[in-house]
Amino acid sequence: MKAMVLEKVDSIRNSPLQMRELPTPQPPEGHVRVRVRACAICRTDLHVIEGELPEAKLPLVPGHQVVGVVDALGPNCRRFRPGDRVGIAWLRQTCGQCEFCRAGKENLCEAARFTGYHADGGYAEYALVREDFAYRIPETFTDEEAAPLLCAGIIGYRAFRRAQVPEGGRLALYGFGSSAHVVLQLAQARGCEVFVVSRGEKHRQLARQMGADWVGESAEQIPTKVHSAIIFAPAGEIVPPALEMIQKGGTLALAGIYMTPIPQMDYQRYVFYERDIRSVTSNTRQDGEELLAEAARIPIRPHTTVYAFAEANRALQDLKADQIAGTGVLRMES
Segment 182-226, tens digit of pLDDT: 999 999 999 999 999 999 999 999 999 999 999 999 999 999 999
pLDDT-derived band of residue 334, with 50, 70 and 90 as boundaries? low
The reported pLDDT for the residue numbered 333 is 74
**68 touches 37 (CB < 8 A):** yes
Report the alpha-carbon distance of residue 188 to residue 210 in Å, rounded.
10
> Can you give the pLDDT at residue 15?
98
pLDDT of residue 153: 97
The CATH number, out of the four listed (3.30.950.10, 3.60.21.10, 3.40.50.720, 3.30.565.10), of the domain defined by the range 155-279: 3.40.50.720
The superfamily CATH assigns to domain 2-137+303-331 is Medium-chain alcohol dehydrogenases, catalytic domain (3.90.180.10)
- In a 3-state reduction of DSSP, which class is residue 334? coil
The residue-averaged pLDDT of 149-178 equals 96
CB 82 within 8 A of CB 72: yes
| pLDDT at 261 > cutoff 60 | yes
DSSP 152: I
Q: Give the integer Cα–Cα distance in Å for 244 and 295.
A: 31
- Average of per-residue pLDDT values in the chain: 96
The model's pTM is: 0.93
Banded pLDDT at 149 (limits 50, 70, 90): very high
Phi, psi (5° rounding) for residue 41? Answer: -95, 160
Secondary structure class of 148 (helix, strand, coil)? helix
pLDDT value of residue 148: 97
- Which tens digit of pLDDT belongs to each residue from 275-332? 999 999 999 999 999 999 999 999 999 999 999 999 999 999 999 998 998 999 999 8
- pLDDT, tens only, 224-244: 999 999 999 999 999 999 999
List, by residue range, all CATH 3.40.50.720 domains of the chain.
Answer: 155-279
Judging by beta carbons within 10 Å of its beta carbon (0-12, 13-18, 19+), is residue 211 exposed, middle or buried?
A: exposed
Cis peptide before 263 (omega within 30 of 0): no
Per-residue pLDDT at 99 exceeds 60: yes
- Comma-separated ranges of CATH 3.90.180.10 domains in the chain: 2-137+303-331
Contacts of 55 (CB under 8 A, 6+ apart): 9
Q: Given pLDDT bands bounded at 50, 70 and 90, which one contains residue 250?
A: very high
Average the pLDDT over 50-57 and give the result.
90
What pLDDT, on a 0 to 100 scale, did the predictor assign at position 258?
87
pLDDT at 55: 84
